[in-house]
A and B are shown apart, each in its own frame.
Chain A
């Protein structure tokens, strides 16, 4: 019952589509239960996320976050590691972005600041993944446990820093001062006014995210390191026998993973909020896990899954705005159903589909 029995379009197109359809069907039932019209709800959700420029802008803005955190989880997947600390790594990554912006924003334009912000966020995120990675590699402490613990440490550290050191004087809010022009990425609306993104915070970091996708693809499928990562993930024992260092592979993979998660902060901090603030990650790190699962740890799949979750976020907000009886908790239920059907129950429809495809393929084989 492996994927080889299905044509590629069915494997990568039909099955995800069926899973999504099932998720939306069940979500529709939930909407009916609350007493709203599910078709109307779908209409608002789709229109809210794709129907007008500003909606698309918000969808892409959220998608940018999910691409980074999704890539982070995916890279670790390839080495058989489950990095669920994207939340904390992105949070600490914000520190790197903020340092770069606070230091440079008054003196240089944004395109000088950006490389430093990328470097800073990646380094901080990687640093936050280093200790869990190293502990996994040398002491066997499972990364699932250590990375999630590091989320809490990150949270406490950031609260301390924002409240005691980085806070702008005379303010109650736990945040740094607002960056000047040199610390702000241009909004896509200012670059491409014709798209009419309006006030949507989608910004240049979308292209940074797409660039990261290409680099991750090159890394995983076109480099020696990527080969080592995949080999180690497929069969650690065999990889070690073949001379691949487990310590090096685990630590380096976790560093790359953490760095990618950290880069999410570029979008939020330098691209949208223009200041480092408390709890800015609000779950993007965790959604990254679902994005990587749905996208099958492949950059193209991750972009598609990220856009889907961006739609759910933006369309969901629009939905709870237009239909007050659908609260934000219901939106989370719908997101949860998508994750359930696309991730955990991914193989539910597969046997049936395989059976449907087998006779025709067998016939063809006979004729040949």
Chain B
């Protein structure tokens, strides 16, 4: 991945809530300053083909932008593209209006961001899930393998049959990255565990096929699995439904999906695109913008697992302790989670 450009505030905490409390405490002092600066930024978000309300990745970006708007009263613009030619066009439309920062969601935007960012060197750009090496672009990447490792451990500990499943969306390296981390996590708890892995399809439709997702999950249950993790966008809704119907456990992804079927969703692997977007907006507003790589893993709070009222009974103290210990080891580097994309293969 190359060397990281550590940001000063990164090393501490990017927990939004904390920042907010801090903000409230300093409200009186900061109000006039923030108010004046708030008017200065005109942020924008460009979604990928999935669109604003895809219940997953793009929607997380929308959530982050909405939250920023709510907290700071800063209006933002967004756009949903219909085809590949519109990526560049939309970015340029934003840039021409002097909007900055412009956050592009999804690795497919890389070429367009590279082109337009060069044309407008004074504006700030950010791209999620891809690297664009330009002085005014922030490239935000996530260590999905770390979050998947953690939920893999939980899956293995919750499983009674020693067999767990994984349902991916479209068969691309990014999803194999989820799968590989998951497998490593499962094997770390139970080296003999059997893991069934299925991809839903090879086209974009694979992100939005809940019926097929449900069927894949059922077939995995038939083979003895009792916990199944999905990284399949809208398809995963069917996976979680099948798990709830069969009395087994599902694991959600990207957003917190625990509440979809309380008691049947073991946990969710959170990929905090919302934090990335919020932070990009905030850094621009506070004049602390930094370009370069930003890799968000467990350490930075970019990936996480969800624990709330809906799954509190499914995760016992022993599991919690084991996962927390492993998380610390991942953060300290003692456990190295394999990144599928580093060598395009999974040793597990």
Residues of A within 8 A of B (CB): 58, 61-62, 152, 155-156, 159-160, 163, 172-174, 178, 199, 201, 268, 272-273, 275, 277, 279-280, 282-283, 313, 316-317, 320-321, 324, 327-328, 331
- Interchain CA distance A156-B199 in the complex, whole Å: 13
User: Interface SS of chain A: helix, strand, loop or mixed?
Assistant: helix
A36 CB, nearest partner CB in chain B, Å: 16
Query: A58 and B80 in contact (CB under 8 A), knowing A155-B202, A173-B110, A199-B92?
Result: no
Q: Nearest residue in B to A174 (C-beta to C-beta)?
A: B172
Q: Quick check: A317 and B86 within 8 Å, CB to CB? A: yes
Q: Quick check: B130 and A172 within 8 Å, CB to CB? A: yes
Interface string of B89-104 (1 = CB under 8 A from A): 1101100000000000
- Interchain CA distance A63-B201 in the complex, whole Å: 31
In the complex, whether B82 has a CB less than 8 A from a CB of chain A is: yes
In the complex, whether B247 has a CB less than 8 A from a CB of chain A is: no
Query: A324 and B85 in contact (CB under 8 A), knowing A155-B202, A160-B202, A279-B203?
Result: no
A182 CB, nearest partner CB in chain B, Å: 19
- Interchain CA distance A328-B86 in the complex, whole Å: 12
Query: A324 and B77 in contact (CB under 8 A), knowing A155-B203, A279-B203?
Result: yes
- Interchain CA distance A38-B286 in the complex, whole Å: 40
12 chain-A/chain-B pairs, Cβ below 8 angstroms: A155-B202, A159-B170, A172-B172, A173-B130, A199-B88, A199-B92, A275-B111, A279-B203, A279-B204, A313-B83, A317-B82, A328-B81
- Interchain CA distance A196-B122 in the complex, whole Å: 24
Q: Of the candidates A268, A272, A331, which one forms a contact with B82 in the assembled complex, judged by CB atoms under 8 Å apart?
A: A331
- Interchain CA distance A79-B168 in the complex, whole Å: 43
Q: Quick check: B202 and A156 within 8 Å, CB to CB? A: yes
A314 CB, nearest partner CB in chain B, Å: 9
Q: Quick check: A328 and B202 within 8 Å, CB to CB? A: no
In the complex, whether B224 has a CB less than 8 A from a CB of chain A is: no
B126 CB, nearest partner CB in chain A, Å: 17
- Interchain CA distance A231-B81 in the complex, whole Å: 43
A165 CB, nearest partner CB in chain B, Å: 13
B residues 98-134 in Cβ contact with A at 8 Å: 107-108, 110-111, 129-130
Q: Which 3 residue pairs of A and B lie closest in terms of their CB atoms, listed nearest first?
A: A159-B202, A282-B83, A155-B203
Q: Nearest residue in A to B119 (C-beta to C-beta)?
A: A199
- Interchain CA distance A283-B49 in the complex, whole Å: 13
Q: Quick check: A324 and B172 within 8 Å, CB to CB? A: no
- Interchain CA distance A277-B83 in the complex, whole Å: 12
Chain B residues positioned under 8 Å from A283 (CB to CB):
83
B216 CB, nearest partner CB in chain A, Å: 17
Chain A residues positioned under 8 Å from B107 (CB to CB):
172-173
In the complex, whether B289 has a CB less than 8 A from a CB of chain A is: no
In the complex, whether B51 has a CB less than 8 A from a CB of chain A is: yes
Query: A173 and B83 in contact (CB under 8 A), knowing A324-B77, A324-B78?
Result: no
Chain A residues positioned under 8 Å from B204 (CB to CB):
279
Q: Quick check: B202 and A172 within 8 Å, CB to CB? A: no
B53 CB, nearest partner CB in chain A, Å: 9
- Interchain CA distance A58-B201 in the complex, whole Å: 33
Chain A residues positioned under 8 Å from B202 (CB to CB):
155-156, 159-160
In the complex, whether B341 has a CB less than 8 A from a CB of chain A is: yes
Q: Quick check: A163 and B171 within 8 Å, CB to CB? A: yes
Chain B residues positioned under 8 Å from A173 (CB to CB):
107-108, 110, 130
Q: Quick check: B82 and A277 within 8 Å, CB to CB? A: no
Chain A residues positioned under 8 Å from B110 (CB to CB):
173
Chain A residues positioned under 8 Å from B174 (CB to CB):
172
Q: Quick check: A313 and B130 within 8 Å, CB to CB? A: no
Q: Nearest residue in A to B92 (C-beta to C-beta)?
A: A199
B residues 266-314 in Cβ contact with A at 8 Å: none
Q: Of the candidates B79, B82, B93, B170, which one forms a contact with A282 in the assembled complex, judged by CB atoms under 8 Å apart?
A: B82
In the complex, whether B135 has a CB less than 8 A from a CB of chain A is: no
Q: Quick check: B172 and A321 within 8 Å, CB to CB? A: no
Which of A275, A277, A320 gathers the greatest number of chain B CB atoms within 10 Å? A320
Interface string of B184-209 (1 = CB under 8 A from A): 00000000000000000111100000
- Interchain CA distance A273-B174 in the complex, whole Å: 23
Query: A273 and B82 in contact (CB under 8 A), knowing A172-B174, A174-B172?
Result: no
- Interchain CA distance A249-B151 in the complex, whole Å: 59
Q: Nearest residue in A to B90 (C-beta to C-beta)?
A: A321
Chain B residues positioned under 8 Å from A279 (CB to CB):
49, 84, 203-204
- Interchain CA distance A24-B164 in the complex, whole Å: 54
Which of B77, B78, B83, B89 gathers the greatest number of chain A CB atoms within 10 Å? B83
In the complex, whether B35 has a CB less than 8 A from a CB of chain A is: no
Chain B residues positioned under 8 Å from A201 (CB to CB):
85
Q: Nearest residue in A to B84 (C-beta to C-beta)?
A: A280
Q: Quick check: A328 and B88 within 8 Å, CB to CB? A: no
- Interchain CA distance A293-B77 in the complex, whole Å: 37
Q: Quick check: A328 and B51 within 8 Å, CB to CB? A: yes
Q: Nearest residue in A to B173 (C-beta to C-beta)?
A: A172
B6 CB, nearest partner CB in chain A, Å: 23
Chain A residues positioned under 8 Å from B203 (CB to CB):
152, 155-156, 159, 279
Q: Quick check: B79 and A61 within 8 Å, CB to CB? A: no
Q: Of the candidates B49, B77, B83, B171, which one forms a contact with A159 in the assembled complex, judged by CB atoms under 8 Å apart?
A: B171
A272 CB, nearest partner CB in chain B, Å: 6
Q: Quick check: A277 and B84 within 8 Å, CB to CB? A: yes
Which of A62, A199, A328 gathers the greatest number of chain B CB atoms within 10 Å? A328
Q: Nearest residue in A to B206 (C-beta to C-beta)?
A: A159
4 A-B pairs besides A61-B85, A275-B111 with CB distance below 8 A are A273-B84, A282-B83, A324-B78, A327-B52
Which of B93, B108, B341 gathers the greatest number of chain A CB atoms within 10 Å? B108
Q: Nearest residue in A to B203 (C-beta to C-beta)?
A: A155
Query: A317 and B77 in contact (CB under 8 A), knowing A173-B110, A174-B172, A282-B84?
Result: no
Q: Quick check: B89 and A317 within 8 Å, CB to CB? A: yes
A45 CB, nearest partner CB in chain B, Å: 14
Chain A residues positioned under 8 Å from B108 (CB to CB):
173
B69 CB, nearest partner CB in chain A, Å: 13
Chain A residues positioned under 8 Å from B85 (CB to CB):
58, 61-62, 201, 272
B residues 126-164 in Cβ contact with A at 8 Å: 129-130
B232 CB, nearest partner CB in chain A, Å: 16
- Interchain CA distance A313-B84 in the complex, whole Å: 12
- Interchain CA distance A328-B47 in the complex, whole Å: 12
